[in-house]
Structure 1
Amino acid sequence: MTPQALADRQHIQDLLVRYCHALDERDWPGFHALFTADARLDFRAFGGPAGSAAELADYLAGVLASMRGCQHTISTSRVDLDGDEARVRTAAQVMMVSAGPQGQDHVLFAGLWYRDHLVRSPGGWRIRQRTQEYAWTHNLPPSA
């Protein structure tokens, strides 16, 4: 593996981690900085929309505002580099705390895969396309 490929992989991993932190910190400017201007996101696997990064940020802000807490984590990324583009499949786990019927904490878990098409830009690697794939859920409330 070349030094450039190793550096690219590290930058890509950092991009994916920054996505998790942007969501958990509700850092919407940081969220937008992760994507190309023409990025398309598809979150329909969990009942969300498909659309631009701005449209998904609005949707996610609403979802996260209703949560008492959340934590997004990723692991086991498979990165296929091809020059200034990369295809990445990453396992993700999301833990969220919402209010239960009597006001108590209700903790739910979701497992998913992110399928990403990344491109190298003047500002570094960015997500051009992100699709969620359903893997599993645990302890969803009846209304979900």
Structure 2
Amino acid sequence: MAPAISDHELIRNCIARYCIGVDLKDWNTFSSAFLDNGKVDFPGPGGLVEGVTAITATVQGMVGNLQTQHALTTQLIEVTGEKTASATTYCTTEIFGVGEDKGKRVTSWGLYQDKLVKGNFDGGDDWKIAERIATLAAPLMGDLSLLSK
């Protein structure tokens, strides 16, 4: 018998799917973090994006051919109801250039404020992000020319 997994652990895994999906460019893993009608409010020109297909396309456009590595750190998860939760997660993202931009790097510090919903997804109970607000916690550091390509 498989060990029971707590709601907190399922929520942590959901939030991690976003990061791992981006870093590995595994867009199925990435999109599995969101409800079909999920929303993300990105900082800057990204703005509010609605629907998992649009969210995925937006992030694909943001990362392009760049390599990324997300590191999730401080986190507070609050289960607010039988099927609802909120989470605040700090994230440091390293963005690396490739090809002619190899050696260039940008560091981003931010936080994700998520509203999550529990449901039966793909045959089992799990959590998905219904709404995310992504916020920069500090100015970007590094070679910002990397982001203008």
Q: Which runs of 5+ in 1 are unaligned?
A: none
**Aligned residue identity for 1:141:** L
Distance 1:106 1:12, change over 3 A: same
Match for residue 80 of structure 1 among 73, 78, 81: 78
**Aligned residue identity for 1:62:** G
Q: CA deviation at 1:15?
A: 1.0
Q: CA deviation at 1:47?
A: 2.9
Distance 1:89 1:103, change over 3 A: closer
Deviating 4+ runs (over 2 angstroms): none
CA distance in 1, matches of 2:9, 2:106: 31
**Aligned residue identity for 2:32:** A
Contact 2:40 2:49 in 1 (8 A): yes
**Aligned residue identity for 1:132:** A
- 1:50-72 CA distance string (max 9 Å, x none): 212211211211222231x2101
The corresponding residue for 1:17 is 16
Q: CA deviation at 1:99?
A: 5.7
Q: CA deviation at 1:41?
A: 0.8
TM-score normalised according to structure 1 size: 0.85
- 1:14-71 CA distance string (max 9 Å, x none): 111121111111111222211112111111x14323212211211211222231x210
CA distance in 2, matches of 1:129, 1:94: 20
Q: Which runs of 5+ in 2 are unaligned?
A: none
The corresponding residue for 2:130 is 128
Residue 138 (structure 1) aligned with residue 136 (structure 2) = no
Contact 1:97 1:105 in 2 (8 A): yes
Percent identical among aligned pairs is 21
The corresponding residue for 1:62 is 61
The corresponding residue for 2:107 is 109
Q: CA deviation at 1:130?
A: 0.7
